[in-house]
């Protein structure tokens, strides 16, 4: 899907789900969930709360060895009221089931964090509002982008040690940096001893490119305020749109007071090799905006820091926080992008609940 994302105009409302008996969210049911839910189940619930909505295919790629085992466990979580689901209409074919956090799942997360559900900020009607949002396709596209990285980490090359060590949602980024920037996500990728972090601008072909280029001033202001230089990755749908975007981005970038504080690289979905088993944004598809400093060749994600030798490596303290003078720590930490491993990948046996 990362090479052919569903467009918003192809979505037409959502199909009503077939009636299925579901457990009521009572205190007794909460007690039953205490021994039914595995660490992976709670991780799925936390990922849905962080990233709003994930498709059945995305959850399977993130956390299950096969679609069959994932579908079976998702059905159980839905029956227990931990997660909810909807299925959008599409003009061609059938859309996958889309999952959001349900009330019982919100109660579990709130209890784990020592909060009331009200303090968590959960409201079922608002959560389900994503089903009718005009940004549904964009949100799914961004989540697919990060899911492809995790799927790549699940299937490394021989001797390779790679992982997505941080994945912040648009909502979390807005909570931290919303007065200056509103990226579509923040991520950090580890390849052996090397790490690279970035903000993501995911272009779906619907935003004016002049507006996209104008966002560079906000990233420059953030770098000046925090003293932290964080690369910006711009993902575009086609090579033609990338060429146009690069011209506008370069014009704005050169006008910044200190362009070196905003390293930018662009890539397009068309450059991914569809014949690869797990094509992902980690592939050799990134072209730094400053071609003189970075050269004209495309680079892999972990090799991008070589194009910006002035950018120090990410500073981490064992968690997923971005540390800076204007970066307040959230009450609830973001979930680890990599799920807990309680069953060997490659096996079709689901976790027992």
Instruction: Kindly state the percentage of the chain with pLDDT values over 70.
Output: 86
Task: Tell me the average pLDDT across 101-105.
Answer: 96
Tokens 């007794």 locate to 28
pLDDT band at 24, cuts 50/70/90? confident
Does residue 323 register a pLDDT over 60?
Answer: no
What is the band of 26 on the pLDDT scale with cuts at 50, 70, 90?
confident
Query: How far apart, in Å, are the Cα atoms of 230 and each of 83, 122, 136, 304, 327?
Result: 35, 31, 27, 12, 13
Q: What is the pLDDT of residues 278-313, one digit of tens each?
A: 899 999 999 999 875 445 789 999 999 999 999 998
Share of the chain above pLDDT 90, in %: 71
pLDDT of residue 343: 44
Residue 58 near residue 51 (C-beta atoms within 8 A): no
Chain position carrying tokens 């575009």: 236
| 1-10, 135-144, 250-259: least confidently modelled range | 1-10
Q: What is the pLDDT of residues 142-201, one digit of tens each?
A: 999 999 999 999 998 888 899 999 999 999 999 999 999 999 999 999 999 899 999 999
Over residues 216-244, the mean pLDDT reads: 96
Query: What was the pLDDT predicted at 292?
Result: 52
Report the range of poorest mean pLDDT among 49-58, 235-244, 328-337. 328-337
Name the token pair of 76.
Answer: 């159980």
Q: Which residue has the tokens 């789900």?
A: 17
What is the arithmetic mean of pLDDT over 57-84? 95
**1 against 219, higher pLDDT:** 219
Mean pLDDT of the chain: 87
- Residue 27's pLDDT is 78
Joined together, the tokens standing for residue 37 give: 């839910």
Judge whether residue 71 has pLDDT over 60: yes
- pLDDT confidence band for 9 (50 / 70 / 90): low
Q: State how far the Cα of 48 lies from the Cα of 42, in Å rounded to an integer.
A: 10
Q: For residue 45, is pLDDT > 50?
A: yes
Between the two ends of the chain, the Cα-to-Cα distance in Å is 30
Which contiguous run of DSSP H or E holds residue 15? strand 11-15
Segment 120-146 mean pLDDT: 95
Q: What is the pLDDT of residue 13?
A: 60
Asked whether the beta carbons of 54 and 47 are under 8 A apart, the reply is yes
Q: What is the pLDDT of residue 6?
A: 73
Which CATH number among 1.10.40.30, 3.10.180.10, 3.60.70.12, 1.10.10.10 corresponds to the domain 8-133?
1.10.10.10
CA distance 38 to 259: 47
pLDDT at residue number 15: 57
What CATH class has 170-307?
Answer: alpha beta
List where CATH 3.40.91 sits in the chain. 170-307
**DSSP element (H, E) containing 346:** none
Q: Is the pLDDT of residue 345 over 50?
A: no
> What is the chain's percent helix, strand, coil content, to nearest 5?
40, 15, 45
Considering the chain, tell me which residue range(s) the CATH 1.10.10.10 domain(s) occupy.
8-133
């Amino acid at each position: 899907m990362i090479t052919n994302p569903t467009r918003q105009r192809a979505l037409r409302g959502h199909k009503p789900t077939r009636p299925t008996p579901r457990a009521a969210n009572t205190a007794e049911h909460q007690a039953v969930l205490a021994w039914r839910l595995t660490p992976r189940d709670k991780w799925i619930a936390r990922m849905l709360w962080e990233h709003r909505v994930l498709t059945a295919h995305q959850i399977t790629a993130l956390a299950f060895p096969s679609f069959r085992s994932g579908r079976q466990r998702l059905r159980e979580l839905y029956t227990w009221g931990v997660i909810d689901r909807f299925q959008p209409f599409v003009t061609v074919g059938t859309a996958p089931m889309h999952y959001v956090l349900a009330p019982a799942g919100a109660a579990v997360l709130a209890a784990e964090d020592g909060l009331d559900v009200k303090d968590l900020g959960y409201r079922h009607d608002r959560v389900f509002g994503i089903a009718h949002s005009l940004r549904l396709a964009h949100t799914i596209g961004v989540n697919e982008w990060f899911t492809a990285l995790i799927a790549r980490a699940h299937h490394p090359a021989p001797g390779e040690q790679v992982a997505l060590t941080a994945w912040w949602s648009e909502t979390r980024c807005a909570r931290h940096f919303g007065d200056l920037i509103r990226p579509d996500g923040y991520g950090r990728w580890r390849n052996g001893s090397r790490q690279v972090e970035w903000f993501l601008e995911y272009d779906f072909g619907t935003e004016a490119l002049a507006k996209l280029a104008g966002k560079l001033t906000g990233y420059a202001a953030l770098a000046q305020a925090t003293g932290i230089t964080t690369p910006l990755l711009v993902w575009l749908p086609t090579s033609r749109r990338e060429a146009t975007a690069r011209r506008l981005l370069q014009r704005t970038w050169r006008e910044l007071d200190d362009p070196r504080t905003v390293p930018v690289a662009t890539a397009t979905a068309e450059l991914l090799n569809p014949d690869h088993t797990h094509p992902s944004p980690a592939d050799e598809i990134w072209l730094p905006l400053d071609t003189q400093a970075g050269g004209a060749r495309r680079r892999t994600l972990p090799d991008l820091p070589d194009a910006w030798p002035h950018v120090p490596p990410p500073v981490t303290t064992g968690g997923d926080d971005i540390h800076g003078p204007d970066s307040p720590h959230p009450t609830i930490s973001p979930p680890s992008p990599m799920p807990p491993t309680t069953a060997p990948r490659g096996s079709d046996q689901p976790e027992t609940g």
